[in-house]
């Protein structure tokens, strides 16, 4: 048994990076990091979701529009003869044109980085499993300035530079990801069983 009835990108990414961080966050309920950059990213996501760009109109005009925002899609896969529900939450999606958009802030994104971004592969895999269509993927980079000190979160600001990268994925990419998902899920189960065994 795991702490969630689904397997999300965030869970996968945290466990893959650090099983200990997964244990703290999902088993013991400790809060995750809350850096100024993450705060700014959430504020930008809220602006996009609410379609309210007051004060950042110079950014809005360069960002693609999507018919649906914060769109959840799930699909079942089988791991060791048991069903596991994968969850994807797309920043934006066009279900008619089969486009998934993901917004990113930060200092730098390049085409090479986007082509290798595993989060986009995760989203494309779920979309393909449900619709049978290979989606076009768009990563919308909103460049930000990083302050010399993280003391004042409000120092994180968009520079005004916005760039949209397009990329695609292949069945081969899905095979590689599926193998890694299986490995991570088994690792999470083993970790959870170990922790539950201490109290049961």
Lowest mean pLDDT among 75-79, 92-96, 152-156: 152-156
pLDDT of amino acid 16: 97
Residue 60: band (very low, low, confident or very high) from pLDDT cuts 50, 70, 90: confident
Lowest mean pLDDT among 27-36, 69-78, 174-183: 27-36
Higher pLDDT, 198 or 191: 191
DSSP H or E stretch at residue 145: strand 136-145
* Residue 133 φ/ψ, nearest 5 degrees: -110, 140
Alpha-helical segments (H) within 75-133? 111-116, 118-131
User: Is residue 91 within 8 Å of residue 101, measured between CB atoms?
Assistant: yes
Residue 2, pLDDT above cutoff 60: yes
Neighbour tally for 154: CB within 10 Å: 9
Higher pLDDT, 197 or 54: 197
User: For the chain, what is the mean pLDDT?
Assistant: 87
Residue 152, pLDDT above cutoff 60: no
* Residue 126 φ/ψ, nearest 5 degrees: -65, -45
Residue 155, pLDDT above cutoff 80: no
User: How far lies 169's CA from each of 100, 121, 194, in Å?
Assistant: 12, 7, 36
**Share above pLDDT 90 across residues of the chain, in percent, rounded to a whole number:** 65
pLDDT of amino acid 133: 97
């Amino acid at each position: 048994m795991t702490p969630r009835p689904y397997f999300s990108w965030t869970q996968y990414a945290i466990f893959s990076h650090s099983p200990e961080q997964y244990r703290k966050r999902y088993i013991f309920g400790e809060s995750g990091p809350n850096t100024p950059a993450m705060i700014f990213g959430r504020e930008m996501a809220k602006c996009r979701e609410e379609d309210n760009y007051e004060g950042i109109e110079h950014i809005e005009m360069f960002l693609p529009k999507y018919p649906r925002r914060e769109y959840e899609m799930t699909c079942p896969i089988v791991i060791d003869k048991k069903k596991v529900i994968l969850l994807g939450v797309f920043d934006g999606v066009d279900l008619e044109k089969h486009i998934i958009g993901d917004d990113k802030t930060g200092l730098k994104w390049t085409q090479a980085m986007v082509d290798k971004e595993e989060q986009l592969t995760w989203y494309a895999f779920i979309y393909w499993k449900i619709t049978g269509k290979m989606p076009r993927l768009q990563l919308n980079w909103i460049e930000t300035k990083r302050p010399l000190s993280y003391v004042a979160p409000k120092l994180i600001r968009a520079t005004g530079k916005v760039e949209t990268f397009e990329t695609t994925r292949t069945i081969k990419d899905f095979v590689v990801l599926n193998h890694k998902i299986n490995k991570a899920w088994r690792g999470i189960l083993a970790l959870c069983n170990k922790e539950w065994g201490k109290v049961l």
